[in-house]
Structure 1
Amino acid sequence: MGLLLVYGLNTWLPQLMRDAGYGSTDSLGLLLTLNAGAVTGLVVAGIVADRAGTKRVAVAWFAIAAALLAVLSVRMDDVTMLYAAVFVTGVFVFSAQVLVYAFVTQLYPAEIRGTALGFAAGIGRLGAILGPAVTGTLVTLGLAYPGGFYVFAATALLGAAALTVIPARVRAAAEAAPVRS
């Protein structure tokens, strides 16, 4: 879900904003602003996750990202407010994705951590493919604004929900094996 958001937004945000009636200059500036928020968010999320727990923060970040993405579906006439909203959205969307990787490294024991992280990144690439494809389809159908932001918000909610059902820790193979006498 995280990579679907990241790649979908990075690929299509300027078009979504043009469809919302913003000018081309603002549409491209908003993409830069989204990514500036991402850089800030990565630092903030890391600090918060170290203090409050990676899983808890990742779930919260996805949920907040969903709310912010839904807010972007509303046209804002105040350009300063728009840039601020896109910046804050970038803070939460991009760092939610990276927190998933941090959580995976904490979830699995050291002997399988590399495999687990590789698997998570590999599965995530499906989202990286689907994000631009789904949004592109919405653009083609004339539903990108506000529909694209609703799709992104729903995706972020799915990310939060998926994380809530994952256990806090996966047992090592030795711990899971039945004892034989």
Structure 2
Amino acid sequence: MARLLFTSRHFGSLDNPQASDSAKQLSKLIGNPIYFMKQTHGNKVTVVDSQSSPNGAIYDGDAVVTDKPNVALAVQVADCLPLLLISKSVVAAVHVGRKGLLNKVALAALDQMKKLGADQISGVVGPHICGNCYEVDPVMYGEIVKEHPATGGKSNHLNLFAGLKDQLSEVEITSLGICTKENSDYFSHRADATLGRQVGVISL
């Protein structure tokens, strides 16, 4: 069975895991090395194999997938969606922002999980900015809603979780329902522009 968790501001920032005591504490808490990403708002997916991956390596891209039980995967966010995908034999951590939704990074991660033999996949999205708080300029709003109508909300506000659910229609996805901008327990670039990120972590 997969294990997962989401941290808050109170655990400390994990925007620079190589230099973070919080990252070391989290790895000790979980009991496995944690593999982070240098997130690029793209659609690159990396398969993490503990036998060939340096301990705690950081990968370029926005999704990491593994079928190894002694590996933990992390996604760092302030307002974007931290998506953790779960199955009995394969798990993934995915960074889904506005660009990631357009680049279909979650679909790419799902495809990679299936290649590794995953079935009955479900997903959990941790704290992220909600549709009532994520206001963008009218041009950007029009571009996103044209591609993903489900993201459309009140004037120039995007609901990325609704867009993700629509994009991954074959997967049952739930949200914790916590808005990073509304809740001061979480880092939010929109709320205060403070440098810092919380993480979602998953392992088999």
Structure with larger Rg: 1
TM-score (norm 1): 0.25
Q: Name the structure where strand makes up a greater proportion of residues.
A: 2
Q: Name the structure where helix makes up a greater proportion of residues.
A: 1
Q: Which has the higher contact order (CA 8 A, sep 6+)?
A: 1
